[in-house]
Structure 1
């Protein structure tokens, strides 16, 4: 990782992701901005846990090898995302659970784990922020590994309902390839599900912006459909 020393870029990225609202002044002061290139590993599975990483630009792949040597891709992370949140709350071991590799050039803030432990573990604002990050990952994992009987529309509805809790009725979506991968469906299935919800008057969407028009009908999830 190459250190980025431009204070204006650092300040702009902090403001863009509202980090000053969830991190204390001491934590903000401890942030260091770094850049990694596409193909570079940020951390390797079983490395010692030394830092939290805040992905503020770019795309990462999180992968793992189990005890039998099988390779599993857990997720694709785009900004904004926290790397190391699971490890922070693990009391039994202090190592990274996964290998994280850059799929594109990426910018990340680093925050020393020892600073977090001494400055933030009793801070309710920081802990609430971390809980939101963990809940997003839990949702992603549950959607990815959900039973095959769950339809594309059902998964999409569940994701939109979850996003509404944090973002309100106006939701910003990632690109369709990433979103489809997150839901464990094809881009074609995702496009058909979005189109059907719009035809039904439940949502309106254009490019990456989606407006929920009927929350009640959105919550009426059906387990099976033609998708």
Structure 2
């Protein structure tokens, strides 16, 4: 991790993401800009939350670590988001491992400062409630959908969510990342892509997926995923 000392860049991200709607200027005086290189650890499960983070640029991966050493991918975030809501409120150790997937910029505010000086601020509390509610909804939605529907429905839903106006999808994440997100293996994902191709619903050209029959793809999708990849 590198701390970026540029006040102009910090101010740019604060303005870009309307962060003054979350924090008053008094608290933003404590804000720092942290930079993490691709594939660098940001937070490690069971450690203490030193900073409350706001993702302002880049992409991160969130994984839950089990006692047997295995981990389960929960989310990818690439848009503005916050890290550490629950740990900040409950003052508990970090629940998940968080890694940077791309070069990533985070605004960091010391968690101790927020607990001591800002827990009675209604604007910030409303933000925490909204953030936690959205994350809970997304987790329940994706987890239940992965449990109930076969992969062909889940993959169709993922593709529908990412269709452009030109009727194709450019897969920016790796196939392994997509497989983890959909709760399957790389091989099963590859077979399901081929099944959709055999039905003349899509055509794959490397990481560009051409949508040949959008109506049938939407019929298979059943529901829509949250945009997390």
What TM bracket, shorter-length normalisation?
0.5 to 0.7
TM-score (norm 1): 0.68
Give the superposition deviation at 1:64. Answer: 2.2
Partners of 2:87 and 2:61 lie apart in 1 by 17
Partner of 2:3 in structure 1? 3
- Go from structure 1 to structure 2 and tell me whether the alpha carbon gap of 1:124 and 1:181 turns closer, same or farther (over 3 Å shift): farther
- Go from structure 1 to structure 2 and tell me whether the alpha carbon gap of 1:181 and 1:33 turns closer, same or farther (over 3 Å shift): farther
Partner of 1:112 in structure 2? 110
Query: C-alpha offsets along residues 152-182 of structure 1, whole Å, 9 cap, x if unaligned?
Result: 59978xx9xxxxxxxxxxxxxxx8666x779
Give the superposition deviation at 1:119. Answer: 2.1
SS in 2 for 1:89: helix
Partners of 1:137 and 1:86 lie apart in 2 by 11
Query: C-alpha offsets along residues 72-93 of structure 1, whole Å, 9 cap, x if unaligned?
Result: 11111113111111211225xx
Partner of 1:142 in structure 2? 140
User: Is the contact between residue 73 and residue 180 of structure 2 (CA under 8 Å) also seen in structure 1?
Assistant: no
User: Does 2:67 match 1:70?
Assistant: no
SS in 2 for 1:115: helix
* Number of aligned positions between the proteins: 186
- Go from structure 1 to structure 2 and tell me whether the alpha carbon gap of 1:139 and 1:71 turns closer, same or farther (over 3 Å shift): same
List structure 1 segments (4+ residues) > 4 angstroms apart after TM superposition.
Answer: 150-156, 175-178, 180-183, 185-192
Partners of 2:25 and 2:215 lie apart in 1 by 46
User: Is the contact between residue 65 and residue 72 of structure 1 (CA under 8 Å) also seen in structure 2?
Assistant: yes
Partners of 1:142 and 1:73 lie apart in 2 by 14
Partners of 2:19 and 2:69 lie apart in 1 by 38
- Go from structure 1 to structure 2 and tell me whether the alpha carbon gap of 1:66 and 1:183 turns closer, same or farther (over 3 Å shift): closer
TM-score (norm 2): 0.67
- Go from structure 1 to structure 2 and tell me whether the alpha carbon gap of 1:181 and 1:132 turns closer, same or farther (over 3 Å shift): farther
Partner of 2:226 in structure 1? none
Partner of 1:60 in structure 2? 60
User: Is the contact between residue 60 and residue 98 of structure 2 (CA under 8 Å) also seen in structure 1?
Assistant: yes
Partners of 1:24 and 1:182 lie apart in 2 by 38
Partner of 2:36 in structure 1? 36
SS in 2 for 1:30: coil
TM-align CA RMSD: 3.6
User: Is the contact between residue 22 and residue 125 of structure 1 (CA under 8 Å) also seen in structure 2?
Assistant: yes
Structure 1 unmatched runs, 5+? 160-174, 201-221
User: Is the contact between residue 143 and residue 183 of structure 1 (CA under 8 Å) also seen in structure 2?
Assistant: no
- Go from structure 1 to structure 2 and tell me whether the alpha carbon gap of 1:127 and 1:181 turns closer, same or farther (over 3 Å shift): farther
